[in-house]
A and B are shown apart, each in its own frame.
Chain A
Amino acid sequence: MSTPIAVRVDRVSKRFLHRVKGTVYAARDVALDVQPGEFLTLLGPSGCGKTTTLRMIAGFEHPDEGRIIFGDQDVTRVPANRRGIGFVFQNYALFPHLTVFENVAYGLRVRGQSGPEIARAVGDVLALVGLAGYDHQFPAQMSGGEQQRVALARAIVIRPRVLLFDEPLSNLDAKLRVQMRSEIRDLQRRLAITTIYVTHDQEEAMAVSDRIAVMNQGSIVQLGSAEDLYHRPASLFVAQFIGRVNLIAGRLTSKAGDGVVVAALGTSFALADAPAGVVPGTDVRLLLRPEAVSVTRDPAASGALRASVTGRTFLGEKVEYLLECAGEALQVVQSSADAADVIAVGDSVGLRIGERALVILRDD
């Protein structure tokens, strides 16, 4: 038996007619399997189709092609109110004319539950999100973070089959955003609700998700764990979208078993794996994360490449350097604890680059 699937997005497309561009795909052939209890994030820049995809899963929009399947039920034609979803909107969409209690009770009342049942369930869930005693407040009297918790409580109290979030934290300030995302993650683990989450913030995506689907121009371009995406990006787009990256020109000089040797930065690197079909003599592009380089004050240190410092920005916990090495400009980030002895603009320094840090970029 195959692993059970909680939500399957089966080659779903959504088109619309643009006045200038003609037919445009908001989502194109999007395919996803979400495991029960999994926390999956759709990540991408604005206009990439992540919200459209989420809204199709919710039933607020209807795909032109493809199917949405919950468990073993095809819900493509089922209206949103009969899908059993919990949805948290970017603007929370709290009912301004109802109290916190009534907002949270709404879905239970619709389901015809009895008064005492509702009172107990709402009380429990408000305690769970840390809002016990707020029953009689109106949404407008609460802070953004509190409103966010009400929206969350309202979505989970109905015990949804799938919990859907549409950029839920983007209206909060930076500190609260970090706090709320870990609360959402904890709550999701505790309740083991299958969750699909939309954001454009890569750090947020990495902090909360089991898996991340990176989307661009209506399609999923890579799906994997945060580590996968960060260390083995499938394309320049993914590499640049998740974290920062240096792009270095190199040439594949020889193959050695599974690995290859690449000439770059005036020296050569032996890399463990390379994309299939790349033959010696071809030019390649190499990805190098800024923090995968270590800087030493001694330019002549053994095994180090010589570089000169062209820029330096102190950012508290870390220091960013702009370096020049064999004609390539490199961004490098060092922990400020390591950089106790100050390196200044104009200094010559040594660079150490671990061989696992370099990744050959497949062609997009």
Chain B
Amino acid sequence: MTAGSRLRDDPALAVSVAVLWLLLGLFVVYPLAMLFARVFWDQSGFTLAGIATVLTDRHQIRAFYNSLLLALLVGVIGTLLGFLFAFTATRCRLPRLLVSAIDVAVLLPLVSPPFTTAIGWIFSFGPRGLITNGLLGIKGVSVYGLWSTLGAEALTYFPIAYLALRPILAAIDSNIEGMAQSLGATRWRVFRTVTLPLSVPGLANAFLLLFAASLADFATPLILAGNQFPVLPTQAYLQITGLFDFRGGAVLSFTLLVPALIVFVLQRYWVGQRHYVTVTGKGAGQVPFDSVAPGMRWLLVAACVAVTVFIAYLYALLLYASLVVALGANHAFTLQHYKVIFTEGLKPIRDTLFIAAFATPLGGIYGVLLGYLVARKLFPGRRTMELVSMINYALPGTIVGIAYLIAFNDPPLVLTGTALLIVACYVFRYGPTGIRTTIALLQQIDKSLEEASQGLGAGTGTTFRRVTLPLIMPAFFAGLGVVFIRSMTAISATIFLVSIGWTLITVKILENITELALGPAAAFSVLVVVIVFVVIAAIGRVLRLLRAPGAPVTSFLGA
């Protein structure tokens, strides 16, 4: 039976595929095409003039260079930190409590608005910073520039490396390490010749993920990079909001697109597929190899605890700053900042929650539906559909935001400033997590389950409803979780899409910071972190309830 005839025989499938293509065309392909058009066409036709202006402007070339330098450094340092944590967590036999503490601290940066670390950084190392000024008494220090941006981004993004590396280190059969030791190798030698080589694909993967995250990061450099260290995403933003130069913004974001796509393709199709599967007959219940000397163990644990404590300190500082009049000047307790955000700041809170309330279920359904169709149904172009669905997810938010702005600002489709556009942006940018989770889950679920149902007399509909759907529910909730978290915390794309009618908490936080109203900014950030944690806890509970005993556990952050 050919793929085409499947489509003719199954009208429900045909309709779903058609609707999904229509939406993907409208919200993924069309904006990107408009961005390209804006970069390469003007009144006189095809032109490279736009690209040429950037390539000849020393300031913009510096921004390009800075972006790559920053991404490289964040990639290296973040991967090292991630490996340190992953290695310690899997090899040092930590007490459970310590592991949970580390997990929470590591989770915090992942679920916070992207500039919370940056705010904490200013509170600590700024001109009136608790550490630079208060503790060390240094006056007139400049916090802005490469090192601060690097520090804040490394702390914000190293959890990605940790989540990517931990399962890989855990999957290395400790018997292999034990074997090397029994052949006479010292612990260091085992690490160097066995553990490390087996982690190389994981390390490369983590590096690329961090490189991409840093390249795309908009909020941290906007706050911490300052004038002396321009990077592409902030330059593109300033070009549009400061100079109303759409074309310049489009061109700058286009120069960002090239390295971003290279990294994405490398990560997914080269490194992502390479992992050493250590095939073992019966590996379970093995005695862990004693891979770390006692002294080294203390050193590793101390390093992890130090980083964890520093992250905890940054968040505690944020909470503290939200509860005092002015951090660094007047430490009298006050609820004034919360009063401000719940009166003047109520609109962005309401708007954000309203938009999240629509984007979340839509993104969840979109992820499960597209993932299911791609993983289980045969129809023409399903590989292409999967690839296209990943585009908005893979691109830096700045590009997506500018593309949406350009595409939906003029007829035929004027959607700029509407909640609909922001919702669409979230659905197609963060729904892909649900797609990946659904596909991954369906790959683990043997097709024979569906055949068993069919063999027992159930038709396609019944089989989907009674067997497939319950089994992919965890992916649905994972998708919901991610879309919700991002709806609460994202800024890089949607900062281009807010309007007087619809605004977001994250944008409001940014405004507060630029107005130096750090108290309300801190209060907003605390609010977002609390909301996100409550929702994560709720979804985690639902997932546990859904899980049949013994069924595979799925982490819904599922890196």
Contact = CB atoms under 8 A, between A and B. Distances in A.
A155 B549 CA distance: 23
A292 interface: no
A93 interface: yes
A293 interface: no
A172 B455 CA distance: 23
Interface string A221-265: 000000000000000000000000000000000000000000000
B458 interface: yes
B467 A95 contact: yes
A202 B119 CA distance: 72
Interface residues of B, number: 22
A89 B550 contact: no
Interface string B431-455: 0000000000000001011011111
Interface string A57-96: 0111010000000000000000111101111011101111
B114 to A, nearest CB: 37
A62 B467 CA distance: 23
Contacts of A168: none
Q: Is the interface of B mostly helix, strand, loop or mixed?
A: helix
A96 B551 contact: yes
A141 B548 CA distance: 10
A190 interface: no
Interface in A291-329: none
Contact of A58 (B446, B455, B548, B551): B455
A34 B48 CA distance: 74
Contacts of B467: 95
B549 A91 contact: no
Contact of B456 (A62, A79, A96, A106): A106
Interface in A23-64: 58-60, 62
A123 interface: no
A140 B548 CA distance: 8
A139 B551 CA distance: 9
Contact of A110 (B1, B458, B470, B548): B458
B453 A97 contact: no
A158 interface: yes
Nearest to A82: B457
Interface in B461-500: 462, 466-467, 470-471
Interface string B242-274: 000000000000000000000000000000000
A97 B451 contact: no
B459 interface: yes
Contacts of B471: 96-97
A224 B451 CA distance: 31
A120 interface: no
A110 B551 contact: no
14 contacts: A60-B451, A81-B454, A81-B455, A81-B459, A82-B457, A85-B455, A89-B451, A93-B451, A93-B452, A106-B453, A110-B453, A110-B462, A111-B457, A155-B456
Interface of B: 1, 446, 448-449, 451-459, 462, 466-467, 470-471, 548-551
Given A59-B455, A94-B452, A140-B550, 14 more contacts: A58-B451, A58-B455, A80-B451, A81-B454, A81-B456, A89-B452, A93-B449, A93-B451, A97-B548, A106-B466, A110-B456, A110-B457, A140-B549, A155-B455
